Structure 1
Amino acid sequence: MTSSREIAASAETIFDLIADPARQPEWDGNDNLAEAAAGQRVRGVGDVFSMTLTRSGVRENRVTEFAEGRLIAWLPSEPGSPPPGHLWRWELEPVDDGRTLVRHTYDWSRLTDDQRLQRARSTTAERLRASLDRLAEVAESR
């Protein structure tokens, strides 16, 4: 599942909001993220950051793809457990100095946990777009 839109902000500004887990609850369109500790800014593949969820629990997120200012993707899991196979990806493509095309993908095609399938299916393109729209509000106000 993928959604995209142009945002009137630089790729660097937008990427900083995505790569800093403490900022993610500000623009999460799934209303799934409650908080993350400061100081977890992602710097590369292999980094792990933790998030507290709104419904309960904590997720560790293992970064699997990374290009500063352009691409970040992670696999969430319960602390100490292997990722069950769903992936969140953000791709940023500068259009010009002040505009960026942002693609947000939620890929649950490799999800192995049957208990998570219903929640995965409820993450629609509209929810991805809600995250993009909220991200745009935050980025464009900076």
Structure 2
Amino acid sequence: MHAVDQENVSTTRTITAPVETVFAVLADPTTHPAIDGTGWVRQPVDRARLTEVGQIFRMDMYHRGAERGDYQVANEVHVLDPPRAIGWYTGHDPEGDGHLEFGGWFWRYDLAPSGPSEAEVTLTYDWSAAPQSVREYLRFPPFGPEHLANSLHHLAELAAAR
């Protein structure tokens, strides 16, 4: 089930795994390339588990529409409520000096148990805080609606395998 608002898109899926297991997969940056539904996430630069709000974790990315194809994002955890919610803002380090800039969008997963070995997971991509200057060069959302469903499908496979 997809829900599209003017400023966000979300989808929900029931996953056959305990909610704690699903959360553990999401809190592990090494799983993110396998979860990604677009194929843009290549590999984690920072591999430490996500354990606190404000934590930064970087990912190597590839998108043929990007200036050089390969690029890196820096994600900042802004929601961490195990095992109910996890989310992060996506940004970058434009000057390579450690000063991060964020574009005003975030990813968020909300999890709820639906039985001892099932979890209802809602994935939301929200760009409501993206300033006009960013909206002038990025189209939101930058992917089709199938991306969220693909991501939850991949997450379900990873969680079931644990």
Structure 1, gaps ≥5 residues long? none
Asked if 2 retains the 8 angstrom alpha-carbon contact of 1:111 and 1:117, the reply is: no
Aligned residue for 1:17? 25
Question: Which whole-Å deviations, capped at 9, do the CAs of 1:85-134 have from their partners, x for residues lacking one?
Answer: 0010001101111000000000012212135522x323333210110011
Shift of 1:81: 2.7
Structure 2 gaps, min length 5: 1-8, 64-69, 94-98
TM-score for both structures, normalised by structure 2: 0.81
Task: Give identity over the alignment, percent.
Answer: 30
Residue 59 of structure 2: which of 31, 48, 51 is its match? Answer: 51
**SS of structure 1 residue aligned to 2:103:** coil
The residue matched to 1:111 in structure 2 has which SS? coil
Question: Under a length normalisation based on structure 1, what TM-score does the superposition of the two structures give?
Answer: 0.91
Say yes or no: does 1:124 pair with 2:138: no
For 1:80-95, what aligned pairs fall within 5 Å after superposition? Answer: 80-95=99-114
Structure 2 match to 1:35: 43
Q: Secondary structure at the match of 1:42?
A: coil
Q: CA deviation at 1:44?
A: 1.5
Counterparts of 1:39 and 1:23, CA distance in 2: 9
Across the aligned residues of Structure 1 and Structure 2, the Cα RMSD in angstroms comes to 1.5
Which of structure 1's runs of 4+ aligned residues deviate more than 3 A? Answer: none
Going by fraction, where is helix more abundant, 1 or 2? 1
Aligned pair in 2 of structure 1 residues 122, 45: CA closer, same or farther (>3 Å)?
A: same
Deviation at 1:64, TM superposition (A): 0.9
